[in-house]
Amino acid sequence: MTSFFQSLGMSYEAAWFTATIAGILLIALPLMLAVALIIYAERKLWAAFALRRGPNVVGPFGVLQSFADGLKVFLQETIIPSASNRGLFLIAPIITFTVALMAWAVIPFADGVVLSNINVGLLYILAISSLGVYGVVIAGWASNSKYPFYSAMRAAAQMISYEVSIGFILICIVLWAGTFNVGGIVEGQRSHIFGFINAYAFNPLLFPIAIMFLISSMAETARAPFDLTEAESELVAGYQTEYSSMAFALFWLGEYANVLLMCALNAILFWGGYLPPVDWAPLYAVPGIIWFFAKILLMFFVFAWVKATVPRYRYDQLMRLGWKVFLPISLFWVFLVSGYLMFTGHFA
């Protein structure tokens, strides 16, 4: 893209800057539109699971419902509690929303279609996803109210509990792929199983950690059945209790952008990313971005399915699953995978 702007007579520096801004907008704007549509899709899915109709009034088949909700919160008054820390109270939702968008910079949508193809892309994603909890923690503390504060403490503990197991799972993938580059991990899955299946998930050694990563990504994004940070039966609305108007909407957008990011990571790390399911020439006629989006939607269906059907965990169950089940298993799997790779001469 830089060369295109240079051909228009721009200097290299101006062309690079313009290309970077254009790339950011090409990712951020469709992502925000996708968030609006995915909220509508999830409400339709929940309705189907409960034998209801879901949104069906605003626009054809109710497809404009999310935009109507967005307009409603935009026109509402932003109420800031008098006892809150005003500056932190307002910056918390901005942090959550911004961090949710930043991780998409290293996500490859197709072969070579990535904003920043850095060699440590997976480390960047892990670092950025860890920052998301700061918005929740700051919101809970700045609200100066007991329920949001309880929620903030839960969020911090929950993030630490599942980040550790996610880190060990990523180590297994990095060992097998031999790179931290996200595109390199996708390419490492080409013809991985039986010489024609493009996915790590069908590898018997990696399938268990694929399931663990899926569950951990639900916990990392505080989705049901791990939504203890906003458990309405205990904490009213958790860290969002004191928020209204666009500040509340930014939390909502950030949450769903994170959910889409985790769906994308599941697709990239275990299900072949932008590669077709099978390494068969006619399937490559379909653009890689279509395969990638199809896998994201499939993972999102699983997220919505779980939220609609699985009851919320108790807090002690959440902690036990993270520390006493996932942590030891993921740590053991690092030794298992590295031992297998060393024994088979993978590191030679």
Rounded (10°) CA dihedral 34, 39, 42, 44? -110
Q: In 3D, which of 157, 176, 166, 73 has the Cα closest to residue 128?
A: 166
> What does the block give as tokens for 136?
């929740």
Please, are residues 134 and 146 in contact by the beta-carbon 8 Å criterion?
A: no
Report the alpha-carbon distance of residue 284 to residue 310 in Å, rounded.
37
Report the alpha-carbon distance of residue 341 to residue 324 in Å, rounded.
26
**What pLDDT was estimated at residue 314?**
84
Per-residue pLDDT of the chain (348 residues; tens, 9 = 90+): 677 777 877 887 888 888 888 888 888 888 888 988 898 999 999 899 888 888 888 888 888 988 898 888 888 777 787 777 878 888 888 888 888 889 899 999 998 889 888 999 999 998 888 887 888 888 888 888 878 888 888 888 888 888 889 999 999 999 999 899 999 999 999 888 888 899 999 999 999 999 999 999 998 887 778 887 776 666 666 777 778 788 888 888 888 888 999 999 999 999 999 999 998 889 999 999 999 999 999 999 999 999 888 888 888 888 899 899 999 999 999 999 999 999 987 764
Please, are residues 256 and 303 in contact by the beta-carbon 8 Å criterion?
A: no
Report the alpha-carbon distance of residue 141 to residue 84 in Å, rounded.
9
DSSP string, 6-35: HHTT--HHHHHHHHHHHHHHHHHHHHHHHH
- DSSP designation for 278: B
Q: Where are the alpha helices (DSSP H) in the chain?
A: 2-7, 12-49, 65-75, 86-102, 121-142, 146-177, 182-187, 207-220, 232-235, 245-270, 288-309, 315-320, 327-343
**What pLDDT was estimated at residue 327?**
93
Burial class of residue 242 (count of CB atoms within 10 Å of its CB; 0-12, 13-18, 19+)? buried
Domain boundaries, the chain: 80-344
**What pLDDT was estimated at residue 235?**
65
Contacts of 24 (CB under 8 A, 6+ apart): 105, 115
Please, are residues 251 and 222 in contact by the beta-carbon 8 Å criterion?
A: no
Please, are residues 5 and 15 in contact by the beta-carbon 8 Å criterion?
A: yes
Please, are residues 264 and 270 in contact by the beta-carbon 8 Å criterion?
A: no
Q: Please, which residues bridge with residue 113 across strands?
A: 110
**What pLDDT was estimated at residue 237?**
66
